[in-house]
């Protein structure tokens, strides 16, 4: 595998784009797959978790339904089948507009999968009404249980809705943060969800817990258990062991993009959060605006354009990762190696080892692999 540094333009002009949006299911099958991590700035949530470290909790809601719909249009114009992961930044069941967009995408022949996260505090009726209108065979849902913030009755409602969603054929999984004091709960949740045929996929605890930094402070026993809670060895190695990905072939910028709420395109989310160099850190003590402006220019130089105004330009082959860490599960699945060793699915977050495919598909019946080779077709 050789690294590619140039960008090969894929020309998408308005007349062609309109025709591409009307592609038939048969024509869509021959298109290569593009994985899209689309971050929306819908910062409205039905919970106020005190441990939430997400940066968007410090920002006002800046969601524009008109822009959202135009980006949906532009995505459907591209010459790819799409696997889209929405980062809502809040709660999707508080936004009728985002729900409508997901429903529309789920029925389009170019869309292989459309997924999102939710705290699943919406009512049974609201969730059922959404599922009634969506193509559940294309929908993925990551449902995070915030058990320290809800009542026991609400928790039972959460699991009742998970079972309902599972029976509809949605590729649903339950997410949970692996706080050092919550391992007993994770064991119980995993057993309960295994009985329902629903994957339990934990995230590492990232930050200080009782003034001790994690994930570094996990004990040897914790780490043995975390492999099963983090779902795959790959996620464990990247998110807990903090393996250095620099130089590894990656689909970012080739068959994977990070899409901002304003339509700006990056190869991956790591390009949005570049580490500061020593000069910037030193300048910060003199004038905070200088290094901030430099950082903004660094990010702009890495942008691949804006999907609302530009032709999509992607690298013509997997490129070598330029970063020394990859600590988001949605980004870590973009590595070329993942497609060699794991089945990709219609949900970006859910991959599973090919060596255990028969076992896992029997245990979790909604697991279905993306067509072999589709993600590396040129």
Residue 156 in any domain: the answer is: yes
CA gap 353, 223 in Å, rounded: 20
Residue 342 in any domain: the answer is: yes
Query: Which residue ranges in the chain fall short of pLDDT 70?
Result: 1-21, 51, 53-59, 274-288, 290-292, 294-296, 298-299, 372-378
Q: Which domain holds residue 114?
A: 7-267+304-376
Place of tokens 């003199």: 286
Residue 163 in any domain: the answer is: yes
- Domain total of the chain: 1
Residue 283 in any domain: the answer is: no
Predicted confidence at residue 288, as pLDDT, reads 66
Place of tokens 């072999």: 372
pTM greater than the 0.85 cutoff: yes
Residue 281 in any domain: the answer is: no
What is Dmax (Cα atoms) for the chain? 60
Residue 274 in any domain: the answer is: no
Predicted confidence at residue 373, as pLDDT, reads 56
- CB-based burial of residue 338 (10 Å sphere; 0-12 exposed, 13-18 middle, 19+ buried)? buried
CATH for 180: 3.20.20
Predicted confidence at residue 3, as pLDDT, reads 39
Beta-carbon count within 10 A of 28 CB: 17
Query: In the chain, count of helices (H) and strands (E)?
Result: 14, 16
Instruction: Report CA 221 to chain centroid distance, whole Å.
Output: 29
Q: Tens digit of pLDDT for each residue in 23-81?
A: 888 888 889 999 999 999 888 888 887 767 655 555 677 789 999 999 999 999 999 99
In degrees and rounded to multiples of 5, residue 164 shows phi and psi of -60, -45
Residue 23 in any domain: the answer is: yes
CA gap 163, 170 in Å, rounded: 10
Residue 132 in any domain: the answer is: yes
């Amino acid at each position: 595998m050789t690294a590619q540094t140039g960008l090969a333009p894929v020309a998408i002009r308005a007349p062609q784009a309109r025709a591409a949006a009307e592609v038939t299911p048969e024509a869509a099958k021959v298109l290569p797959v593009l994985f899209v991590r689309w971050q929306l700035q819908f910062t409205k949530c039905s919970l106020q978790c005190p441990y939430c470290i997400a940066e968007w909790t410090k920002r006002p809601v800046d969601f524009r339904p008109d822009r959202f719909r135009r980006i949906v249009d532009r995505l459907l114009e591209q010459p790819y089948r799409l696997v889209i992961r929405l980062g809502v930044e809040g709660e999707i069941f508080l936004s009728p507009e985002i729900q409508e967009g997901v429903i529309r995408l789920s029925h389009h022949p170019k869309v292989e999968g459309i997924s999102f996260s939710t705290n699943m505090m919406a009512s049974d009726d609201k969730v059922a009404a959404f599922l009634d209108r969506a193509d559940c065979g294309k929908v993925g849902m990551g449902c995070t249980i915030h058990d320290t913030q809800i009542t026991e009755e609400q928790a039972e409602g959460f699991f009742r809705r998970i079972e309902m969603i599972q029976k509809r054929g949605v590729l649903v999984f339950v997410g949970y943060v692996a706080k050092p004091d919550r391992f007993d709960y994770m064991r119980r949740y995993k057993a309960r969800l295994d009985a329902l045929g629903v994957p339990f996929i934990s995230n590492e605890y990232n930050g200080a817990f009782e003034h001790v930094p994690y994930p570094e402070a996990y004990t040897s026993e914790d780490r043995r258990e975390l492999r099963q809670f983090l779902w795959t060895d790959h996620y464990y190695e990247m998110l807990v062991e903090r393996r250095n990905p620099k130089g590894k072939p990656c689909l970012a910028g080739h068959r994977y993009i990070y899409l901002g709420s304003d339509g700006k395109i990056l190869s991956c989310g790591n390009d949005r959060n570049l580490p500061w160099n020593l000069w910037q850190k030193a300048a910060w003590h003199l004038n905070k605006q200088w290094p901030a402006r430099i950082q903004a220019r660094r990010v702009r130089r890495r942008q691949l354009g804006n999907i609302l105004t530009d032709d999509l330009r992607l690298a013509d082959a997997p490129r070598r990762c330029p970063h020394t860490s990859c600590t988001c599960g949605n980004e870590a699945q973009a590595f070329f190696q993942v497609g060699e060793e794991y089945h990709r699915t219609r949900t970006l977050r859910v991959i599973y080892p090919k060596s255990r495919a028969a076992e896992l598909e029997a245990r979790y019946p909604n697991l279905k692999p993306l067509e072999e080779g589709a993600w590396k077709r040129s």
